[in-house]
């Protein structure tokens, strides 16, 4: 049996309505995809800018490394541990710091555990004896013909004073 013209029109309207809904759904999906594409493009542009900056930083680092290598070969760069002395273990290193006002050699100790410098070592040459205070030091000058030890006294003014004779003894008190 055949369809009536009214049934054909209703059927055509249903198909048209279905096609319209499918078109709306497809349009929404296209809009969503377009938004996602725009977001990806923006992220790509940002990533490209970051990459360009990273490449520039890398080139600068390469140049700095080349300059450092040249300076190292010429000897104008001193490696830090080359100017330090190993302490009691690999975590402790000493380096010269300064001469103090009394001509003591002052050293610093570096503790790698907490990355700190400690200014607590003072060395005076072993041939000197401390006299009455930190400003006076004695050094043996010679032994005279009567077996007296003759000392010179050094004052913090960087001068050696006249000699002092001391009767030889077996102990210093």
Which residues is 96 bridged to in the sheet? 107
> How far, rounded to the nearest angstrom, does the alpha carbon of residue 47 sit from its chain's CA centroid?
29
Q: Which of 21-25, 79-83, 108-112, 131-135 has the lowest mean pLDDT?
A: 79-83
**pLDDT tens digits for 90-118?**
777 777 778 777 677 777 887 777 878 77
Name the pTM for this structure: 0.37
Q: How much of the chain, in percent, has pLDDT values that exceed 90?
A: 33
SS3 79: coil
Asked if residue 124 has pLDDT above 70, the reply is: no
Is residue 133 within 8 A of residue 141, CB to CB? The reply is: no
Q: Is 137 exposed, middle or buried (0-12, 13-18, 19+ CB in 10 A)?
A: buried
Is residue 131 within 8 A of residue 137, CB to CB? The reply is: yes
pLDDT value at residue 41 = 97
Q: What is the mean pLDDT of the chain?
A: 78
| Mean pLDDT (whole number) for 25-52 | 96
* Residue 143: CA count within 13 A, CB half-sphere: 5
Asked if residue 173 has pLDDT above 70, the reply is: no
pLDDT value at residue 165 = 54
């Amino acid at each position: 049996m055949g369809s009536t013209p009214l049934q054909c029109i209703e059927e055509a309207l249903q198909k048209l309505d279905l096609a319209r809904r499918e078109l709306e759904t497809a349009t929404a999906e296209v809009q969503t995809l377009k938004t996602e594409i725009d977001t990806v493009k923006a992220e790509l542009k940002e990533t490209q800018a970051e990459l360009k900056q990273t490449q520039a930083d890398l080139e600068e680092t390469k140049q700095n490394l080349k300059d450092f290598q040249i300076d190292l070969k010429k000897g104008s760069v001193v490696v830090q541990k080359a100017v330090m002395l190993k302490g009691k273990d690999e975590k402790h290193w000493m380096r010269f710091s300064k001469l103090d006002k009394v001509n003591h050699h002052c050293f610093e100790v570096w503790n790698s555990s907490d990355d700190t410098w400690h200014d607590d070592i003072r060395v005076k040459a072993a041939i000197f004896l401390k006299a009455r205070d930190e400003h006076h030091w004695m050094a043996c000058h010679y032994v005279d013909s009567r077996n007296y030890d003759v000392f010179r006294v050094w004052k913090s003014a960087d001068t050696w004073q006249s000699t002092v004779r001391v009767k030889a003894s077996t102990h210093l008190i």
